[in-house]
């Protein structure tokens, strides 16, 4: 029975291996000529301000939580879109219900002021 899961194991090994090999190859083959500029943490091209591990305003967490919530839920759209034709009307109705539930949370968050910075 466990044999059924063999592809998954193979997939895990291959993906881990590929990532490891890529990092390892870069590490082994790449030239290393560090300069001050180069060893500074990368911050989207601008010069870093202050230490990296400083305190963040708590609002970021709220935004992060909301992002995770809605983002992850939107990921459900993807598989749905793939099999949309097979599901037919039933799938459409299901998705509308799903969106409606999301919408309730969205309206709640909006009305509570969670989307406003101040």
Partner 1 sequence: MPNDLWLSIGAILPIIVLAVWACLLLLVDLFIPAQRKGWTASLAAVGLLITLAVILSRLGQSQSGFGGMVMVDNFANFLSILLLASGLAAIALSHDYLQRTGIERGEYYVLLLFSISGMMLMGMASDLIMVFLALELLSIPLYVLAGIAVPRLNSEEAAIKYFLLGAFASGFLVYGTALVYGASGSTSIAKIVQVIQAGQHNLTLLLAGAGLILVGLGFKVAVAPFHMWTPDVYQGAPSSVTAFMAVGAKAAGFAALLRIFVLAFPVVSLDMTPVLWSVAALTMILGNFVAIAQKNIKRLLAYSSIAHAGYILMALTPYGQSNVSADSVASALFYLVAYALTNFAAWAVVIALEQADERGLELSDYAGLGRKQPALAAAMTVAMLSFTGVPPTLGFVGKFFLFRTVIEGGFIGLALIGVLTSLVSAYYYLRVVVIMYMQEGEPVVRRDGWLYATAFVSSIGVVALSIFAGPLIALASRAILNLF
Residues that bind partner 1 (CB under 8 A): 1, 89-90, 101, 104, 107-108, 111-112
Minimum CB separation of residue 111 from partner 1 in Å reads: 4
Minimum CB separation of residue 54 from partner 1 in Å reads: 24
Other C-beta atoms lying within 10 Å of the C-beta of residue 87: 13
CB of 77 or CB of 110, closer to partner 1? 110
Q: Which pairs with CB-CB distance under 8 Å and at least 24 residues apart come from 48-52? A: none
CB of 37 or CB of 112, closer to partner 1? 112
Our CA angle for 19, 21, 25, nearest 5°, is: 125
CB of 23 or CB of 84, closer to partner 1? 84
Minimum CB separation of residue 60 from partner 1 in Å reads: 20
CA 118 to chain centre: 26
CB of 21 or CB of 107, closer to partner 1? 107
Q: What distance in Å separates the CA atoms of residue 18 and residue 103, rounded to the nearest whole number? A: 40
Q: What distance in Å separates the CA atoms of residue 69 and residue 64, rounded to the nearest whole number? A: 9
Minimum CB separation of residue 50 from partner 1 in Å reads: 30
């Amino acid at each position: 029975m466990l044999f059924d899961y063999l592809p998954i194991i193979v997939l895990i090994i291959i993906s881990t291996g590929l990532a490891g090999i890529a990092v390892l190859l870069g590490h082994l083959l790449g030239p290393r000529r560090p300069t001050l500029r180069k060893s500074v943490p990368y911050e989207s091209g601008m010069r870093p301000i202050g230490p990296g591990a400083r305190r963040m305003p708590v609002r970021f967490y709220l935004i992060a939580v909301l992002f995770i919530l809605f983002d992850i839920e939107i990921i459900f759209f993807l598989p749905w879109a793939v099999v949309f034709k097979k599901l037919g009307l039933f799938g459409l109705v299901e998705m509308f219900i799903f969106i409606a539930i999301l919408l309730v949370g969205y309206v709640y968050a909006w009305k509570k002021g969670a989307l406003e910075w101040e």
